[in-house]
Amino acid sequence: MALLELHEVCKTYHLGEMDLQVLKGVTLSVAKGELVALMGASGSGKSTLMNILGCLDRPSSGEYWLDGQEISGASADERARLRNRLIGFVFQSFNLLARTSALDNVCMPLTYGLEYIHEHEMKARATEMLRKVGLADRMDHQPSQLSGGQQQRVAIARSLINRPRLLLADEPTGNLDSRTSEEILQMFRELNEKEGLTIILVTHDPEVAHHAKRTIRIRDGLIAGGAESKGEETQK
Amino acid sequence: MRAALTTLGIVIGVAAVIAMMEIGNGSAKAIQHTIATMGAYNLMVFPGNALMSGVSTGSGGSMRLTPEDAEAILTDCSSVTAAAPVVWARAQAVYNNLNWQPGNLLGTTPSFLDVRDWSEMAQGNAFTDRDVRNCSKVCVIGKTIVRMLFMDESPIGKEIRLMNVNFKVVGVLKAKGANMMGSDQDDIILAPWTTIKYRVTGVSATAAVPVATTTTSILPSQVYPAAQASLYPVPSASQQTDTPQPVRFANVNAIVVQARSADAVKPAIDETTALLRERHHIQPSMPEDFTIRDMTEMVRTMSSTTELMTTLLLIVAAISLVVGGVGIMNIMLVSVTERTREIGLRMAVGAQSGDILHQFLMEAIVLCLIGGAVGIALGRTTSVLVRMIKHWPTVVSLGAIVVAVAVSALVGVLFGFYPAWKASRLDPIDALRYE
């Protein structure tokens, strides 16, 4: 069963008089447990598609099914709740809170959760996550005291704290050197293989895309390849 | 650092409020006290009108006030802090080869000085209650008398002659200057009322005059001879049955009363009226045999002064708090701009706009409350410093502190709301991409 499914999704921006159609009917699906790369040149609509996938934006038309729900019509607050519950984000520039310890950075998404979690349990879960990404001894460090690779690992721990269905990584290695990039990508692979986490890597780097099992290419607002998961393609 | 700067506006605002309130309240108290010494809280009880053979004598005609009335007013009326009987007389004061007609020659008790806020003496002491009981021939004189009779040498222990009675000067009153009507308040001689009543005015009615007539000057007892002659109208038979008290010879011309405060003037009048009606056995339907006058004009002056001070303080406080609030808003707006990416991130991981609003609003309120606390400390320090260095009176105002804290929280909400609202309206996509 597909975790997410886009059907004829369009996105149009209104810039004054002019309408700019960025996505021109995107149809794709990603199954549970996949590690997919989303590739495209800048200006291809890649970022817009990622924003829609991440529930940060909503499509102008078309359907978006995420985890069995049609969410293209969800309000801003409903989407915030979906993001909190279902989606983990990893950004190119890490986006950690400055002057805040790694532990508190990881705890942060929990404070916006629907159900109340005791602070003690928050800390326990955050500690667990940091251990998983190999930063058990850096928990009280602030982002400025960590290297780029360590910062990105804190960000990954943060994205996993709410046990999301989908991990959306936007150029996760863009600010890292090749060796740490390799480590981070390795970590994504392990998460995908050991825990069955669905991961979408948004990138323009073929090296990175190479780590994925499937690559979705987007060009000029349309899917240029890899829209269906291989499993489903073979079924057809 | 930035938070410290942010709170500075509120700190200054609250400190200004507290300091202004304390210094201002102190000044208002001082002004009130000054006006009080002018006699603003004073009440004068005069005997009422007597109607004799169809002729009204005007106020002061019937002599029915007694020193006991004064004592009863002091003990039974809770709004009254002092009361003294007053007997007035007119006499030429003579010392050696100088003489002077004092503007006021009053027989009274020591509490008269309390009523008039005049207890502090320039020299010597006031006469005592024992002097009043013993009819002692002592007196306290004002500065003008000292100048006119003693040519500014010390009068303590010397004797002045009033109506051929020698009075020993025991004290000199502090200079008080002219009153609101322009008459000299220091032109005064105070003596025990018993002495004035029984030795001075009592004598003048009978035999004392011829002794002095050898001199060429006209004695004041000849100029004003009649007032004392009819002091004790013989009550009619019906009057005597109406008032079963013995005929009192100790009537006084007036009783002066001091109310506790400006607000207590009205209750003091009511209590005194009720008490005197009872003591004088006046039926509910009958008119009073006394009249009470208060210093309405002065009381009005005082309340308008106080009102003015309060309004002034409020305006200053409001302005400084608004300035502080605008400062808070300014820096919160800067903060929202600077933290756009953080806001975007928080929204991306699931913060709803309400959460962001809540967070920034709380920050503004906490900043304001901290600012308020520091401001209170600073304001108190300022007012203490002002008191120590400039010797201005200050009054610790608990109300001002409570209001300052409440208002600084309110300012936090009011001026923190717009930046917080702006933060909550941000689009997470733009916010995340913001550089």
ipTM value of the model? 0.90
A1, pLDDT greater than 70: no
B22, pLDDT greater than 90: no
H helix intervals, chain A? 46-53, 76-86, 102-107, 119-132, 148-160, 178-195, 206-211, 230-235
Tally of domains in chain B? 2
Confirm or reject contact between A165 and chain B (CB < 8 A).
Answer: no
Chain B hits for A108, CB-CB cut-off 8 Å, are: 346, 349
Instruction: Choose the final residue of a domain: B245, B280, B295.
Output: B295
Instruction: Choose the final residue of a domain: B235, B269, B295.
Output: B295
Look at A112 and B342 and tell me if their CB atoms are within 8 Å: no
Say whether both B348 and B222 belong to one domain: no
The shortest CB-CB distance from B428 to any of A56, A81, A97 is to A56
Q: Which residues does B65 contact at the CB level (< 8 Å), separation at least 6?
A: B45, B46, B47, B85, B251, B252, B253, B254, B255, B290
Confirm or reject contact between A125 and chain B (CB < 8 A).
Answer: no
B214, pLDDT greater than 50: no
Name the 3-class secondary structure at B333: helix
Average pLDDT, integer, range A197-208 = 90
User: Domain A2-96+149-235 has what CATH class?
Assistant: alpha beta
Look at A80 and B432 and tell me if their CB atoms are within 8 Å: no
Q: How far is B358 from chain A (nearest CA, A)?
A: 12
Confirm or reject contact between A109 and chain B (CB < 8 A).
Answer: yes
B80, pLDDT greater than 50: yes
Q: How far is A70 from chain B (nearest CA, A)?
A: 18
Look at A112 and B429 and tell me if their CB atoms are within 8 Å: no
- Best to test chain B binding among A52, A57, A94, A111 (most B CBs inside 10 Å): A111
Instruction: Choose the final residue of a domain: B295, B321, B346.
Output: B295
Confidence at B19, pLDDT banded by 50, 70, 90: confident
Say whether both B11 and B65 belong to one domain: no
pLDDT in tens, B122-179: 888 889 989 888 888 999 999 888 988 888 788 899 999 988 889 999 999 888 877 7
Look at A112 and B354 and tell me if their CB atoms are within 8 Å: no
Say whether both B218 and B320 belong to one domain: no
Q: What is the pLDDT of residue A233?
A: 44
Say whether both B289 and B306 belong to one domain: no
Q: How many CB pairs under 8 A join A and B?
A: 53
Domain annotation covers residue B36: no
Chain A hits for B432, CB-CB cut-off 8 Å, are: 56, 91, 95
Domain annotation covers residue B356: yes
Q: What is the pLDDT of residue B244?
A: 54
pLDDT in tens, A80-133: 988 998 999 999 888 899 888 999 999 999 888 877 888 899 999 999 999 989
Q: Which residues does A82 contact at the CB level (< 8 Å), separation at least 6?
A: A55, A66, A69, A71, A74
In whole angstroms, give the CA distance from residue B35 to residue B277: 30
- Best to test chain A binding among B2, B341, B349 (most A CBs inside 10 Å): B349
In whole angstroms, give the CA distance from residue B399 to residue B377: 15
Look at B352 and A57 and tell me if their CB atoms are within 8 Å: no
Say whether both B420 and B382 belong to one domain: yes
pLDDT in tens, A37-56: 999 888 888 888 999 999 98
The shortest CB-CB distance from B349 to any of A51, A76, A108 is to A108
Look at A76 and B352 and tell me if their CB atoms are within 8 Å: yes
Chain A hits for B352, CB-CB cut-off 8 Å, are: 76-77, 80-81, 112
Q: What is the pLDDT of residue A89?
A: 92
Confidence at B35, pLDDT banded by 50, 70, 90: confident
- Best to test chain A binding among B345, B430, B433 (most A CBs inside 10 Å): B345
Domain that holds residue B63: 41-295
Say whether both B203 and B276 belong to one domain: yes
Nearest chain A residue to B433, by CA:
A93
Say whether both B222 and B330 belong to one domain: no
In whole angstroms, give the CA distance from residue A131 to residue A124: 11
Q: Which uninterrupted H or E stretch holds B159?
A: strand B159-162
In whole angstroms, give the CA distance from residue B21 to residue B18: 5
Q: Which residue has the higher pLDDT, B352 or B390?
A: B352
Confirm or reject contact between A97 and chain B (CB < 8 A).
Answer: yes
Where along chain A do its domains lie?
A: 2-96+149-235
Q: Which residues does B157 contact at the CB level (< 8 Å), separation at least 6?
A: B168, B169
Mean pLDDT over the full length of chain B? 80
Say whether both B383 and B239 belong to one domain: no
Q: What is the pLDDT of residue B205?
A: 39
Q: Is B422 left (phi over 0), alpha (psi -120 to 50) or beta?
A: alpha
Name the 3-class secondary structure at B224: coil
Average pLDDT, integer, range B358-368 = 86
Q: Which residue has the higher pLDDT, B120 or A11?
A: A11
Q: How many CB atoms lie within 10 A of CB A49?
A: 27
Q: Interior CA angle at B344 toward B341 and B349, to 5°? A: 125
Residue B233 DSSP symbol? P
Percent of chain B at pLDDT exceeding 70: 85
Q: Please report the DSSP string for A19-72 in residue order.
A: EEEEEEEEEEEEETT-EEEEE--TTSSHHHHHHHHTTSS--SEEEEEETTEE-T
The shortest CB-CB distance from A97 to any of B342, B353, B428 is to B342
Say whether both B153 and B12 belong to one domain: no
Say whether both B318 and B239 belong to one domain: no
Nearest chain A residue to B355, by CA:
A112
Q: What is the pLDDT of residue B118?
A: 83
Residue A136 DSSP symbol? G
Please state the φ and ψ torsions of residue B51, each to the nearest 5 degrees.
-110, 110
Say whether both B68 and B184 belong to one domain: yes
Average pLDDT, integer, range A16-24 = 87
Greatest alpha-carbon span in chain A: 55
In whole angstroms, give the CA distance from residue A56 to residue B427: 8
Q: What is the pLDDT of residue B170?
A: 92
DSSP-based helix, strand, coil % in chain B, nearest 5: 55, 15, 30
Say whether both B259 and B119 belong to one domain: yes
Give the A window 62-81 contacts with B, CB below 8 Å.
76-77, 80-81
